[in-house]
Amino acid sequence: MEKNVVVKIKGMHCQNCVERIESGVGSLEGVDKVKVDLINNEAKISFDDEKVNLEQINNKIKEVGYNLGDGEKKKKTIIQGIAYGLIPHIGCIAFIIAAVLGSTILMQYFRPVLMNRYVFHYLILISVGFATLSSGIYLKKNKLLSWEGIKRKKGYLSIMFGSVVGINLILFLGVFPVLANVGVGSISGDAIDSGEFSVMRISVDIPCPGHAPLITSELATVNGVEGSEFSFPNDFDVYYDPTVTSEEEMLSLEVFDEYPATVLTLESGSGSSGGVNKVQPLASPSGGSAGTCGSPSCGNPTCTGGGSCGGGCGG
């Protein structure tokens, strides 16, 4: 006697699953027709119950690797989604490895890219575009390119796009700022505490903390610069030997043509005495000089450096 049943199947995720089930169940003697619906997680089966029974059909479904019931294999879906989210960031991952290993050659390879102010904006657009294209190909390949198919695969799609957004945030706001203080351009805590170097704090007009490693690596190329520290979102403390280099030389780097820097404070190292003498900010809010003069007529013993007396220097 001919019977028609609808069997709910758990574990299907692509067209290959459909073909495997249809082929397996269809090979049973007495099964006349098998139509697997990937969107609804079910198979419509017509069979002669005098030749084969439902239990044998169910056992065949399990034999080819699937279970009975609603749902799908989430583990594979999660792995696929994360993988597609990572692919657009292969370049960033290579940069991270280069920074951690302190590889100057590889860091310089990324320099032209990071010299573009909008590189991270472009990367976000590329990664979202890649995720959209990958999703479309995946859905079309598995005959799910429809509103129902999108709802059927909402878990996979949410993981993919969530991975893209999450990876961007982690890289640009977390990993890259940390990299600015390790590897190329970093300075040890002991050297900082010793007070043997002068310190210049600058605020750099970087559009994203992801550019911080570029600034520290560029500063490291100046002879006399011992290292630098990045402070979120765009401040840098530069430790240097004033007998070897100067503020003007450091600020003349090409990178500061693209990302202008403003000097906030200067601190002069006291050498072997182990202390640091803090100098007032180079510019006061009113725009006048703020205590960096060295005129004999100044009369303020805390004033150091060259220039004329004025502003907060006193007189």
What is the identity of the amino acid at 210? G
pLDDT of 312: 39
Q: Which residues contact 201 (CB under 8 A, 6 or more apart)?
A: 235, 236, 237, 238, 263, 264, 265, 266, 267
Q: Please, which pLDDT band fits residue 189 given cuts at 50, 70 and 90?
A: low
pLDDT of 87: 59
pLDDT of 168: 76
Q: Please, which pLDDT band fits residue 250 given cuts at 50, 70 and 90?
A: very high
pLDDT of 136: 86
Average of per-residue pLDDT across 301-305: 43
Cα–Cα nearest to 266, from 288, 230, 238: 238
Length of the chain: 315
pLDDT of 311: 39
Average of per-residue pLDDT across 150-172: 79
Tokens (6 digits) for 143 = 């005959």
CA dist 121 and 172 (Å) reads 10
Span of 54-58, 80-84, 164-168, 274-278 with lowest mean pLDDT: 274-278
What is the identity of the amino acid at 275? G
Q: Helix (H, G, I), strand (E, B), or coil: what is residue 78?
A: helix
Res 6 pLDDT > 70? yes
CA quadruple 186, 187, 192, 196: dihedral positive or negative?
Answer: negative
Domain boundaries, the chain: 2-68, 74-179, 189-279
CATH code, 2-68: 3.30.70.100
pLDDT of 314: 39
Q: Please, which pLDDT band fits residue 155 given cuts at 50, 70 and 90?
A: confident
Res 300 pLDDT > 60? no
**Highest averaged pLDDT of the listed ranges 228-237, 268-277, 285-294:** 228-237
Q: Tell me how far apart the 2 most distant CA atoms of the chain are, in Å.
A: 115
CA quadruple 88, 93, 99, 105: dihedral positive or negative?
Answer: negative
Whether 21 contacts 9, CB under 8 Å:
yes
CA dist 191 and 195 (Å) reads 7
CA dist 65 and 263 (Å) reads 66
CA dist 61 and 55 (Å) reads 10
Q: Residues of 66-78 as b/e, b for ≥16 C-beta within 10 angstroms?
A: beeeeebbeeebe
pLDDT of 193: 59
Tokens (6 digits) for 101 = 């290993």
Cα–Cα nearest to 9, from 83, 96, 70: 70
**Highest averaged pLDDT of the listed ranges 114-118, 213-217, 284-288:** 213-217
Q: Rounded mean pLDDT of the chain?
A: 74
Res 105 pLDDT > 80? no
Res 128 pLDDT > 50? yes
Whether 196 contacts 257, CB under 8 Å:
no
**Overall pTM surpassing 0.75 (yes/no):** no
Tens-digit pLDDT profile for residues 14-65: 888 888 899 999 999 989 999 998 888 889 999 988 888 988 998 899 888 8
What CATH number does domain 189-279 carry, 3.30.365.10, 3.20.20.60, 3.90.1150.10, 3.30.70.100?
Answer: 3.30.70.100
Residue with the bigger pLDDT between 73 and 187: it is: 187
The β-bridge partners of 262 are: 203
